Structure formats: structure tokens, C-alpha cells
Chain A
Amino acid sequence: MTAGTASSSLTESIAPLNAGAHVTAIGWMKSTVAFGLADGGVLLAKDGETHRVEAHPDAGVLIGLSDGERFLTGGDDGRVAVTGADGSIKTLAETKGAWIDSLAVSGSGAFAYGAGKRVIARDDKGREKVLEVPTTARGLAFAPKGYRLAIAHYNGVTLWFPNVEAKPEGLEWKGSHLDVTWSSDARFVVTSMQENALHGWRLVPDKGHMRMTGYPSKTRSLSWSHDGKWLATSGAEAAIVWPFESKEGPMGKAPRECGVRPAKVSRVAFHPNAYVLAVGYEDGCILLIRLGDASELLVRPAVKESGITAMAWDKAGRHLAFGCEDGQAGILTLP
């Protein structure tokens, strides 16, 4: 990469926003982007206009996800709320006292959330099923196809078909599992762990284990490339990108290290249809990195106390929205 040319920076292509509070989640609903905030609000932005709604009054948004049409949020008020692109708010579910910090949505309109050890899944017809797991449910993720949910918890992952009577399947590995994700072909389930490592299970053909270690801190952001061949992860002073193209997964292969900088990567987000990775750092910097030649474009320079806490691409991959711990936010429009 040649340094110093104007073309190496996209900083001019950002529309900055003031979200007003720690941004915990971002989701796109067509051309509207929703920022979930730690003070309980959701900030909606479209065409340069913003509109704030109170999704979790006097509480905080702990997690938020979009299913393309609506923005679902879990709060420390024990509620799952849904915000529409028009600013409407509905309560989808309410628990007594439990923090809702695990949530999953499926493309078909189903959603699931964890409340302590209970996991509640509601399908697109509104049928609700409940499963109790051995310890507090952490990460939740729907399989790419079929109504099947992966639930991360202490000592492993539970795979559950909510609408099937069969006993849920257990994937065991000692330790505390935090976030969970499926590969797009559903052959791999990968978790992040308390011990600064990832753990993966090869579901076909052999239930093999995959250990991905060497992180200096916890991985809390995982993102698959559009074709499912690469898994980008946070937790090191570079985005660690594991190769999943072969059926063995990344075992015996070295990961790519993209965007090495003297700051920890806090969020990663693969472009929805190109080998381009957005990398957000704890020091507030954002880079766009092309996987093919590792060329880097600066999106946002480091900003003190403004670590990147959320990032999301819109469906077409034209816009990248980001949010920070100090309430700053912005939308990048690719030229």
C-alpha cells in the first residue's frame, strides 16, 4: 500500500452523528439505521435526519439486532422491545427482573432470547417454546436454515429445535462460552470463550473440535465473510481472520492478521458481498481492509475515549454505520 495519498482515506465520506450515549448495538432496516443505546433509547437515522425513541425507558439497551424489517432490543428492564423504521415501539416479551442480554433473530421473523437459564424461542407464527439450559444462557444464534437455535453456556453449546420434541443436542467443551455463531453452510458452530480463545465444533462429518487460541483478550465480535469462507474476530491488536473454506475448518492453518495496530480490535464486520472487512478498534479508529491484498483505507482516525462498540453494514453494502462508547456515531457512504 502506498501511504499518504488522498485515496487511502474515507474520512471525508462519513456523516457524523451524536447518539448521546454508549452505542451498544446497530441494525439496519432498509435505508433506516437504528442505534441501540445504553441509556435505553434507540436513535433512528435516515437521509441525514435523526429521531430518538425510548425503547427501554429508564433502562439500557444491552443487545440489539435487526431482522431486516425491525430492530429488536433486549434491555436491563427485562424486556424485549421492537422498534420499527417509523419509530413505533412494541414490547415483544417481558420477564421479571432478568437482564435480556442474549437475543437472536432469524430471517423468517422468529426470535429467541435468554432470561437467566431459560431460553424462550418464538417462531414467526407466535408459537413460544421454552428450554432450560444448565447455566445462564449467553450467546444465541439461529442456524442459517431451519428453525434451530445454538445456545452458548458454561461447558458447551446446546443445539435446540424449538418446534421438535426431540431432546436438544449438547456440544461439550469445558469452560465458559460467551458468544456463538454458525457458519453459513451450518457445518461449523463457533463460540468465544472466557479464556481468550475460540472453540469450534465441526458438525459434519465427525463432531471434531477446533481450538483457536492465542488471543491476548476476549473475543466479543465475530463476523463471517459473505460466502462463509472466512471468520473475522476481535480480541487482538489486529483482526484475526480464520480460514473455513476446507471441510476441516481452520485446523492446522494460520489465520490472517489484518490491520495490525497498537490498539485492540473491538468490533469486526465483513462487507455483505465483497472480501472487505471493517475493523473497529478500542482507540476509536476504523479501517476498511481488503482481504485479497491487505490494503487498508482509513475510515475514522483514533479518537480518545471513543472506542468502537458497534458496527453494521446495510444489506447492499453501500453504508457502514458505527457507534462508540462515548456516544459518537457515524455513517460511512462508500464512494
Chain B
Amino acid sequence: MTDKIPVTVLTGYLGAGKTTLLNRILTEQHGKRYAVIVNEFGEIGIDNELVVGADEEVFEMNNGCICCTVRGDLIRILDGLMKRKGKFDAIIVETTGLADPAPVAQTFFMDQDVSDTARLDAVVTVADAKWLSDRLKDAPEAKNQIAFADVIILNKTDLVTPEELDAVEARIRSINPYARLHRTQNCAIPISEVLDRKAFDLDRIIELEPDFLEEGHHHHHDEDMQSISVRVDGEVDPEKFMPWISNLTQVEGPNILRCKGIVAFPNEPKRFVFQGVHMILDGDVQGDWKPGEKRDSKVVFIGRDLNEKAITEGFLACAV
């Protein structure tokens, strides 16, 4: 189905500027209508026709998997909104500052009714340039939000020195080198950089290079959250790769926040592309390898306490 409603998830620690960004999106002249789902404890002051209060009820799925959580309230609200199709073009979900983005994202993959009618577009995280470094030390939620993001708005850059700004960006990059990062004041950013990113669409995963807008690869690892990238210089054997990735995400699922990959299988003219959230994997063959393009294979994981050696060796062992 092509007319699924895109949903943007807006996260960020308390006071980072989520509401500022939301109001920017809503007031800009773009001709689009948004349904906005806000947490009921959030700041009021959003001027929009369709604003819905949510309760952030995180439910475990009754399938024995502790990381298979969904937002029960979101399923209920989306069910109600979908009866009013035609009233809005897209949905924005604002989470509380303390929210883990995973249950929101997983809702779009685990609930059939939701995935039939809506698609997760991207997780956008607003970070406060002045306070983020402190929050990353004392608030695991803040770290999750950075690790999970497809787009990071590093806001309030006017409140820090250039050196401090570089330091906080390096800190973000040590957790998540793959998100698009934008430095802003007052969340001033073209909304095309925030909305309609199609970050979870397999056919949009065309390359997996770290997104370093600034020069200088400060590659220090965060204490417990890290990203791991492994490349096989060539093709991998699907008979080995599929069981490996499936087992890895089953066993390490609670620790893997996000994963993505583009791999080459022998005699397969298309790339195999996958992406995942915790234990949920979504993958398919997608787009031809171009003539003359190097058929190599790359996987990327962002997570907590990942065994880099085991993952690296595991993937390398899938090589043909």
C-alpha cells in the first residue's frame, strides 16, 4: 500500500526544544495538515486542529519477549485517527523527555492494524547542546534517544562555545555516527530535514556511511553504548548469514537498539537490505547492484554492551 500515513516520532530530553520544533513544523506554510499526538504532561501551547493527548502506556506483548513492547495508547489513538483519513496528511508523535523510543517504533512493526495503515518515517531527537553531555551521564533515557535517532537536532548551539559544541557532537557521534545531525538555534531548520525522511524504508537504505558533517573523526567509544560496523569485502553466504543475523537479534535483541545492513548474496542481482529495532527484523532484496559497483557487505549495530569481537567475527564468518 502506498498511501500509508507517515509518522514522525519526536523525542528529546526535557527542555531540549521539542515543543519549539513542533510549533515550527506546525506554523510553517507547507500546505500539509498534521495530526499531533502529545503526551498529556507536555507543555501546552500547540496551535493545531488535531491534537491528541496520549498516556504513554508501554505494554509488553504477551509473547515471552521482554523487549517486545508497544505503546498501547498509540495503537488505540491511531485506530481512532484512521477513521478520519483525509483530515490530515501525516502524524507527529511527541514523546515525553523520559521516554524510550523503542516501544513507539516497535508499535509500527508489531501491530498489524497500525502497520497496515501507517508507516514510521523517522525518529527525530532534539538535544540540548548545553546540557546533553550531563544528561548522557545521568539519564539512560537521553542516551537511548540519541542512539535511536535517525535525525538529531543539536539545539541551543548559541549557549555553548565552539569547543564545547564540538565536544558534545563528538559525544553524540560516539553513540550514533549514522544519524543526520543538524546544529540549530531555536530549532531553526527546514522541515524537509525533519519530515518525510523515510528512514525505515528499506529502499532508502542505500548507503551506511557515518554522517560526519564536520571534519574530525573523534572516535571514542561511549562507556556502555556503542556502534559497531563490520564490512565483508565481498559477498556473504545467505545460508550462513540469515541464521546468524536472526540468532544474533534474538539473543542480543534487548541490547541492540537499531541495526541496518546492505549485503551481497552470490548470484543475486539485487542488494539484500535489512533494518531492525531490538528483536524485530525487516529485510528484503531491494534495488539492483549497479554495473561496476563493488559488491560488498556491511552491517551496522547500535546498542548497549555489545560484544564487538563476537559480532565482527560472526559476520566475517558469513563471507563466501
Contacts of B40 in A (CB 8 A): 97
B266 interface residue per 8 A CB criterion: no
Evaluate contact between B75 and A76: CB separation under 8 angstroms: no
Contact between chains at A135 and B72 (CB < 8 Å): yes
Q: Is the CB of B84 within 8 A of A176?
A: no
Residue contact A99 to B80, C-beta cutoff 8 Å: yes
The 0/1 profile, CB within 8 Å of B marked 1, for residues 108-127 of chain A is 00000000110000000000
Given contacts A99-B77, A101-B76, contact A24 B83 (CB under 8 A): yes
Interface residues on B, range: 20 to 34
Please, which residues of chain A bring their CB within 8 A of the CB of B113?
217-218
A154–B55 contact, CB under 8 A? no
Kindly report which residue of chain B lies nearest to residue A195, judged by CB atoms: B62
Q: Is A98 an interface residue (CB 8 A)?
A: yes
B52 at the interface (CB under 8 A from A): yes
Query: In the bound complex, do residue A62 and residue B57 qualify as a contact, i.e. CB atoms below 8 Å apart?
Result: no
Residues of A within 8 A of B85 (CB): 22
CB distance from A137 to the nearest CB of B (A): 11
A135 to B57, CA, bound (A): 7
Give the residues from 45 to 67 in chain B that come closer than 8 angstroms, CB to CB, to chain A.
52-53, 55, 57, 59-63
Verify if A193 is at the interface (C-beta below 8 Å from B).
Answer: yes
A24–B113 Cα distance when bound, in Å, is 16
Bound state CA distance, A24 and B80, in angstroms?
10
> Would you call B80 and A76 a contact (CB within 8 A)?
yes
Docked complex Cα distance between A309 and B77 (Å): 17
Say yes or no: is B89 at the interface (Cβ < 8 Å to chain A): no
A296 on the B face (CB < 8 A): no
Q: Mark A215-231, 1 if CB is under 8 A from B, else 0.
A: 00110000000000000
Shortest distance in angstroms between A32's beta carbon and chain B's nearest beta carbon?
23
A136 touches B73 (CB 8 A): yes
* A60→B112 contact, CB < 8 A: no
List A contacts of B52 (CB < 8 A).
Answer: 76, 99
Docked-complex contact B53 and A98, CB < 8 angstroms = yes
Interface string of A17-32 (1 = CB under 8 A from B): 0000010100000000
CA A39 to CA B84, docked complex, whole Å:
7
A175 within 8 A of B: yes
Mask, B130-150, CB within 8 Å of A = 1, is 000000000000000000000
Please name all residues of chain A whose beta carbon is closer than 8 Å to the beta carbon of B62 when the two chains form the complex. 174-176, 193-195
Complex interface bits, A233-277 against B, C-beta within 8 A gives 1, otherwise 0: 000000000000000000000000000000000000000000000
Of the residues B55, B70, B73, B80, contact of A62 by C-beta under 8 Å: B80
Q: Find chain A residues with CB under 8 A from B61 CB.
A: 175, 194-195
Shortest B44–chain A CB gap in Å is 10
Are the C-beta atoms of A38 and B84 separated by less than 8 Å? yes
B57 with A154: CB separation less than 8 A = yes
Q: How far is the CB of A234 from chain B (nearest CB, A)?
A: 12
Query: Contact residue range for chain A?
Result: 20 to 34
Residues of B within 8 A of A309 (CB): 83
- A300 close to B (CB within 8 Å): no
Q: Is the interface of B mostly helix, strand, loop or mixed?
A: mixed
Q: How far is the CA of A82 from the CA of B203 in the complex (A)?
A: 49
- Which residues of A are found within 8 Å of B57, using beta-carbon distances? 135-136, 154
Distance between Cα atoms of A168 and B51 in the complex (Å)? 34
For the complex formed, measure the closest distance between the CB of B76 and the CB atoms of chain A, giving whole angstroms. Answer: 7
| Distance of A60 Cα from B62 Cα, bound (Å) | 32
> Which residues does chain A contribute within 8 Å of B72, judged by CB atoms?
135-136, 154, 176, 194
Determine the residue in chain A with the shortest Cβ distance to B110.
A194
B236 smallest CB distance to A (angstroms) = 33
A157 to B3, CA, bound (A): 37
Are A22 and B84 in contact, CB atoms less than 8 angstroms apart?
A: yes
Q: Which residues of A contact B70 (CB under 8 A)?
A: 194
- Is A79 positioned at the interface, with any CB of B under 8 Å from its CB? no
Which residues does chain B contribute within 8 Å of A138, judged by CB atoms?
76
| Contact between A60 and B73, CB atoms less than 8 A apart | no
Report the minimal beta-carbon distance from B83 to chain A, rounded to whole angstroms: 4
CB A238 to nearest CB in B, in angstroms, measures: 18
Contact between B112 and A218, CB atoms less than 8 A apart:
yes
Shortest beta-carbon distance from A220 to chain B in Å? 9
**Chain A min CB distance to B198 (Å):** 25
* Chain B, Cβ-Cβ closest to A197: B62
The CA-CA distance from A325 to B116 in the complex, in Å, is 15
| CA of A193 to CA of B72, assembled, Å | 11
B80 surroundings in chain A (CB, below 8 A): 60, 62, 76, 99, 101
Q: Give the residues from 73 to 98 in chain B that come closer than 8 angstroms, CB to CB, to chain A.
A: 73, 75-77, 80, 83-85
Residues of B contacting A76 in the complex (Cβ-Cβ under 8 angstroms):
52, 80
Q: Which residue of A lies closest to B61 (CB)?
A: A195
Whether B63 pairs with A116 at a CB distance below 8 angstroms is no
| Complex alpha-carbon distance, A62 and B76, angstroms | 11
> Which chain B residues (16-67) contact chain A, with CB distance < 8 Å?
40, 52-53, 55, 57, 59-63
For chain A, residues 36 to 82, give those with C-beta under 8 angstroms from any C-beta of chain B: 38-39, 60, 62, 76
If A97-B40, A176-B59 touch, whether A22 touches B83 (CB-CB below 8 Å) is yes
Determine the chain A residues whose CB is within 8 A of the CB of B63 once the complex forms: 195
Q: Which residue of B lies closest to A116 (CB)?
A: B55
Contact partner, B59, options A38, A98, A154, Cβ 8 Å = A154
17 example contacts (A-B, Cβ-Cβ < 8 A) are as follows A22-B85, A24-B83, A38-B83, A60-B83, A62-B80, A99-B77, A101-B76, A101-B80, A116-B55, A117-B55, A136-B55, A154-B72, A175-B61, A193-B62, A195-B61, A217-B113, A218-B113
Interface residues of B (CB under 8 A from A): 40, 52-53, 55, 57, 59-63, 70, 72-73, 75-77, 80, 83-85, 111-113
4 pairs of A and B residues whose beta carbons are closest in the complex:
A175-B62, A38-B83, A22-B83, A176-B59
Q: Please name 19 further chain A to chain B contacts, defined as beta carbons within 8 Å, in addition to the given A22-B84, A174-B62, A194-B59, sorted by A numbering.
A: A38-B83, A39-B84, A60-B83, A62-B80, A99-B77, A99-B80, A101-B76, A135-B55, A135-B57, A136-B55, A154-B57, A175-B61, A175-B62, A176-B59, A176-B72, A193-B62, A194-B72, A194-B111, A325-B83
